[in-house]
Chain A
Amino acid sequence: MLHPRLRRSLLYVPGNMPSMLQNIPIFPSDVCIIDLEDAVPRTEKDAARLLSRRFIEGYTQRNKELYVRINGLDTPYFRDDLAQILPAMPDGIRLPKCEHPSHLRRIDDLLTEFEEYLGCEIGRFKIIASVESAQGILNVNETARASERLVALGFSAEDYTANLQIDRPKTGEHLVVPRQLLLMACRAAGIQAIDTVWADASDQEGFRRECEHIKVLGFDGKSLINPRQIDVLHDVMAPKPEEIDYALQVVDAIRGAREQGTGVVSLGGKMIDAPVVARAVRVLLSAKSLGLVDTDIDERVIYGDADA
């Protein structure tokens, strides 16, 4: 079953900027992504790797998921990125320019080699990959299934529009097709879908409208470039009171069924199946992160466990 981990907000943090890195523990985003790619000039890649590594090593009281965006497989930098960063044990890698399933398989193999070298569990390092071109969108269905490590696919509108040789109006009508294709591929593969960044950090109203749009489409989250965007996004993604109420009823029904030792869960005469459970858990995790409920999610109760 899809683990309904909350990934609403994925904040990029430049890997060569201490003033931003050391705020990672207090940024209220669900995920921080330390960026070694676009945010770091070529001449500073070495220093950014070292700085990011030392920061991650010292960030032992992790309070959010931590990914590192490495440089693309078409650059001379990604191997050194992995070699420097993985020993510090981030949760995973954000892979840019993932335009073909073979890109994911290649990085998956490399991560396995590092896990063997580092003596950690195979599969420990997760991947969130970015689709950034027309070819990437056309291949997205296969890409979404190319690695067990892949927890989400992200869409990058900046590179996509450049690849299509079009402008990027804020209204987003030119992004309808790639967003829908990426979203459907993610849903079909049982992984999460992450929308593109909103580049104009000064336009909070435009940002809010885009957040509302991608929520309607069904995206799980959005990549962010500015900490000021986090609260707006979380506010838009907040579940409605009736959603929270229904989710609480679902969890109660599961708990009741577990106590009676039955695997069949029903609520109001309707059977509750796995997607409904996953949605209820996501709603409650989101509500809890915003202080709207104080219900703890016990996975053993939710997913069934002999000891629960």
Chain B
Amino acid sequence: MRINKKAQAGTMQSSDLIVFVEPADDLAIEIESTVQQQFGHLIEARVKQVLKRLSVEQCRIMVSDRGALDYAIDARVEAALRRAN
């Protein structure tokens, strides 16, 4: 999937996250989370899984997390990527 434009998905409510996506020449992932220390690496791994599943290799993706569970990370990342396609 090709990222053609800026897009975002999600909210700043508790247990949710906001995902911003924009076109880029390579892959850049930035994570900001209320649980960064304990779970930052797991959130990033989850984001990478979705990128791989949707075959996205070039984009800048910024995640602002409010304690979301895995299913919500999956859904919000996918929604942002599809909106940016």
Contact = CB atoms under 8 A, between A and B. Distances in A.
Interface of A: 16-19, 22, 46-47, 50-51, 53-55, 57-58
20 contacts: A17-B13, A18-B13, A18-B16, A18-B69, A18-B72, A19-B13, A19-B14, A22-B71, A22-B72, A46-B82, A47-B10, A47-B75, A47-B76, A47-B79, A50-B75, A50-B76, A51-B75, A51-B76, A55-B71, A58-B70
B32 interface: no
Decide if the interface of chain A is mainly helix, strand, loop or mixed. Answer: helix
A17 B66 CA distance: 13
Contacts of A53: 75
B79 A46 contact: yes
B83 A54 contact: no
Interface in B1-23: 9-11, 13-16
B79 A18 contact: no
A54 B17 CA distance: 15
B74 A54 contact: yes
B59 interface: no
Contact of A47 (B9, B13, B68): B9
A10 B56 CA distance: 40
Contacts of B57: none
A115 to B, nearest CB: 24
Interface string B55-85: 0000000000000111110111011001100
Given A50-B75, A53-B75, 11 more contacts: A19-B13, A19-B14, A19-B15, A22-B69, A46-B79, A46-B83, A51-B71, A54-B75, A55-B71, A58-B70, A58-B71
B76 A57 contact: no
Contacts of B15: 18-19, 22
B79 A50 contact: yes
Contacts of B71: 18, 22, 51, 54-55, 57-58
Contacts of A51: 71-72, 75-76, 79
Contacts of A17: 13, 16
Nearest to B78: A50
Nearest to B16: A18
Contacts of B72: 18, 22, 51, 54-55
